[in-house]
Each structure stands twice: as structure tokens, then as C-alpha cells.
Amino acid sequence: MKFFLDTADLAEIEEAASWGALAGVTTNPTLYSRIGGKLDDFHAHIKRICDIVGPDCPVSAESVAMTRDEIVRDGRELAAIAPNVVVKIPTMVEGLAATRALADEGIPVNMTLCFTVPQAILAARAGARYISPFVGRFDDISEDGLAQLDDVVRAIGNYDFSEDTVNGEQIEIIAASIRSANHVTQAALMGADIATVPFGILKKCVQHPLTDRGLESFLTDWEKVQNA
């Protein structure tokens, strides 16, 4: 499973990239708003993210348009920012139509706000390169988001959608709305291709109290060696 960082914060992206395990970045309007982002700087900000992670790491930038023609226009503009930009489009009728148009032009799409198997299959048939089922938002309404993710992973895995994607790639499932390290664990066990996680959760994925305790013990014992 690959790790994407779910943020628009440049400092977080730079730090996560320095660990050597980051494979991509996902952004959305909420994340951009949280860092005080301005409309006239949005494209430049996405370009800065692309420059940090490099050309091999996809960066999802979301269209906020609501009609297919406007989404397609947005998508073309976003894709022109850098070759590794992936256009993020909500799962809806107009989004499906726009996804098909963009995929036919060779522009990769990440279909977001996906919650059901039928939505995921429709997104796949429309040409999405990535599909992002949301886990935590199901939990917010007291439903089992991990079970829904598992359904999507298994359903998409039943079929070959490579003839629908831009360059014949296999669709990748991005486990999104991740709220804990356990969400990451379960997504990996289910076979999700990618987990996109906030920086705080990514740090928790590295940490464990037994690791800390073992390190403390090693350092204490080494100090004894030095003082012997």
C-alpha cells in the first residue's frame, strides 16, 4: 500500500517527503481553506506542492464546478499546472460525464466523495484513474466505514477496468477520510492500494509505545557501555 498525504500545508508535505515513503498528495477546498489559501494563488500553490514531491508523485487538485462543461474546463486548467496533477472530481452525474471527457483527453481523474459500490463501479467505467471511498465520514453517522471500503475494494477487484483508464492502467483505490492508524491497518489488510492520511495520522503510523520503550532501553544500556 502507498501513502499519500491529505493536506495543503507545504511544511507538512516537505517533512513527510523527507521520510522517503511519500507517494502522493491529495488536497481539497477545505484543506486549502485551513491554511488561509487565496483563490488567486490556488494554481501556484498546487505547483509548489508538485515541485516538492517531484514528477513521480501524483497530486490531486479538486474542481469545485458543478456542471460537466465547467468541470472539464477546470480539469484542463488544473492538468496544465504540472504533469503529475490529477483532477479530483466528486462522484455525481455531472462529475461522471466530466471524468469520461477528461479521461478521453488523457487527463487522469480521482473520483472523490465515493461511498457505495455502485458509485465506485460507475466511476471506474467513466474512466477514473483513482477512486476515493471515504471511511471516517461513515463513522461520523454511526455506520461502518471500513466495511464499505472493503466492499468497494472487493467489487473493483472483480473486474478489469484497464480499457477505461487513460493509459490502460489498473484503477487504484484510495482509502480516504482516514481518522486513525487502525484505519490504515485495516485498509492495508483489505488490499486498498493507497491510504491518504492527515500528517498527524501519518506520524501516529510511525509511533508505538513499545518502540519508544525499546529505544529508551537501548540508549540507557549504551550509556552504560560508554561509561564502563
Window from 38-47, 92-101, 131-140, 195-204 with minimum mean pLDDT: 131-140
Phi-psi group of 127: left, alpha or beta (phi > 0 → left; psi -120 to 50 → alpha; rest → beta): left
Q: What are phi and psi of 179, to 5 degrees?
A: -115, -5
Helix (H, G, I), strand (E, B) or coil at 132: strand
Q: Report H helices in the chain.
A: 10-18, 29-34, 42-53, 68-79, 93-104, 117-125, 136-140, 145-157, 181-190, 199-206, 209-227
Indicate the DSSP class of residue 182: H
Given the residues 38, 47, 88, 204, the one annotated as active site: 88
Domain hosting residue 186, numbered range: 2-227
> What is this structure's pTM?
0.94
List pLDDT tens digits, range 6-31. Answer: 999 999 999 999 999 999 999 999 99
CATH number at 180 reads 3.20.20.70
Known catalytic residue at 203: no
pLDDT digits (tens, 9 = 90+) for 34-65: 999 999 999 999 999 999 999 999 999 999 99
* Residue 97: band (very low, low, confident or very high) from pLDDT cuts 50, 70, 90: very high
Q: In 10 A of CB 147, how many CB atoms? A: 12
Number of domains in the chain: 1
**φ, ψ of residue 180 in degrees (nearest 5):** -160, 165
- Interatomic CA distance for residues 195 and 61, integer angstroms: 17
